[in-house]
Structure 1
Amino acid sequence: MDRGYPRVTVSKKCERFIKGGHIWVYHVEIKEIDGSYENGDIVDVLTEKGRYLGSGYINDSSKIRVRIISKNANDRFDTAFYRRRVEYAVDYRLTVMGEDFSSCRLIFGEADGFPGLTVDKFENVLVAQVLSLGTDRVKETIFRLLVDVLKERGYPVDAIYERNDVKVRELEGLREYKGFYPLDGLRTDLSGEVGITENGIRYAVDYINGQKTGFFLDQKYNRRAVAKIAKGKRVLDCFTHTGAFALNAATVAEHVTAVDISQTAIDMARRNAALNGMTNIDFVTANVFELLTQAEKEHRRDWDFIILDPPAFTKSRSTARAAQRGYKEINLKAMKLLPRGGYLATCSCSHFMPDEQFCRMLYSAAADANVSLRQIECRQQSADHPILWGVEETDYLKFYIFQIV
């Protein structure tokens, strides 16, 4: 059946991959391309026998040659198609986030059928990041629809800010930049800071200069789980960023020490503590590895609850082994610093560190520290970052709480 789109024939391996749920076609899996196209155009993906597998954006500049956006041969990629996708994404968040909808991830890339697109909602401000050429070409349509659909559901949008200041865009042939998106009726003159409330705690979010979109929404309920454990404890929050874990713990803890190597992050964390009138928390600008090493040398027993929320130590399979050593080092030191009966919250936000490998690392660290781990909770990212089965990249966050015994 000729649908009028260029046709990309893929290998049997890629066919199995797509039928198993994945939506990327790598350049090495392409057998033949029939028809002319421009980068970012829609193409049909076919088996070697000519059977339809899906349709997606093609880009010769990327190793991911085709990013599939539909596996329905009846789809036509018009405004109505994108409106359905936007409505699905928004209505899903309204369902699973409930009262937490005010600040959440509205679009989570491939998991919502929008390859390379992230949109976070911070009250009335949307912060977007576009990492694929095909999506970049239709982003104005998507942005307009987001504004319309949210307004229809009673959530007006004041501004859209793009955080396209990431090098990975170069792999798609896209330039880096950031700035307000000039959509009719939206503001482009805001300060770049917005106040949000999460788990009853107030934060100032700097969506212009903060990491990624300005605030990590995926740990929302993991922070709440930490607060359940922290009552009356002396807590060390490592890699605190803007202080979210520390502030959740501080609502019930005896005292919290929050550590980060970034002075900018520490300054924002201190501001967030002040916003909430918290006085049982202090902030330290330091390299976490060095701080834990020094505390171990001094045989300190200052804390009975340690939280480890490091940045992704690996962003590729080639560096996963080196990253595992980094994860083990901080977890081993934390285990040695905690007393028997103390508590450890630890996580990895890299999908290149699968859960099985992360758990092996924790088991090895516990053995080296001569302790046992009593598992309290095993968690993942919040539901506004849905895991699409068959697309392993969407299953990235591992979060554990243990008692040291």
Structure 2
Amino acid sequence: NASKLLCTWDFNITNEKAVKLKQKNLSTQIKEDLTEVNREALRFSVSERLVRIVIHLVSWVASLGTAVAVCAGVYFLSTNNLELFVKGHKNDLKSQAAMLVLPVVVSLLNTFIPFFYSWLGHLERFQSPGHQIYVTITRNVILKMSIVGILCSYWLNVVAASESQDCWETLVGQDIYRLVLVDFMFCLLGSFFGEFLRRIIGMTVCMSLGLPEFDIGRNVLDLIYAQTLTWIGILFSPLLPGIQMISFSIVFYVKKVSLMMNCQPPRKVWRTAHMTTSFMFLLFFPSFLGVLTVIGVTVWRLKPSEECGPFRGLSSMYAAVSEWIKILENYTASKWVVWIYHNLITSEIFFFILTVLVLIITYLYWKIIEGRKTMTELLKKEIIN
């Protein structure tokens, strides 16, 4: 459209290679827009519609069945991992190597199952490339969040309730630490084998393959998965965020070099605004809200270990706050803290009022956004006229 032709170019770009890349991306976007405008609605016969519906149903059954099978396998490996930890010696090298089976298998599943989902997307032959992108992302999110959900269920219901564990928080922290480190190693290996060697093969052995494309969706979902593990691990392994910051920095520069040297621009267009909103939503739900649920259950419902940790001897981690408030009640200078605790933090009325205010503010922002969209449409019509 006119706005894309007149307002898209970034005049800050001075590098010749970046200019050519920007021109190619802009050309692809305009071609896709023209294709969508000129595309006529395909008329399928009844039999063709039935075949397409059956293909979609079979693909969804296959993807969901794969996710269920993966979750069952992860749960089996998790329980086996606990038995190894109980029976084995902590300093025994063989036992430590055996406990790496779970994170390695999880990382392998997260690496190769998405390729199966991409194949299903090509098999379904969506009319719109955008539909294929969103369906593939949805299936990958279901897979990754299901794996994280099964692991959290194992940690909270099996490990925390195990009587053979003197300090179940330590085992959970170690599991998350292994998952994060192994996932980091697989990210580096993926850049080497999936992009560097793929470029060598495409340029020397099989020229028809060409250069690999950088899969934005898969890489962003991998980051969301790693971020989710880090949020969960903050409570059990406080130094984990620092380790993850270092690993993310390394992954960023490795991916940047690999992208510029090994990959070609994607043939399918990623609508930046739409996809950014989608990824931010996925980072909030189910990732962030799921983590809050796990942390809430751990803090309010689970009993801490009797042998270790700052919360030993308490019925729950949150009980430490109640004990602290009881101590502050004996000091006059801390009365304001006690008042805030009783009248705000533990008050249902306060949170009801706060929720109403948040909803009102959200509604106002939504109306502002709707007004800006309407104004944008009017300006586009004026440009066209």
The higher-RCO structure (CA 8 Å, 6+ apart) is 2
Q: Same fold (TM over 0.5)?
A: no
Structure having the higher Rg? 2
Which has the larger share of strand?
1
Which has the larger share of helix?
2
TM-score w.r.t. the length of structure 2 is 0.24
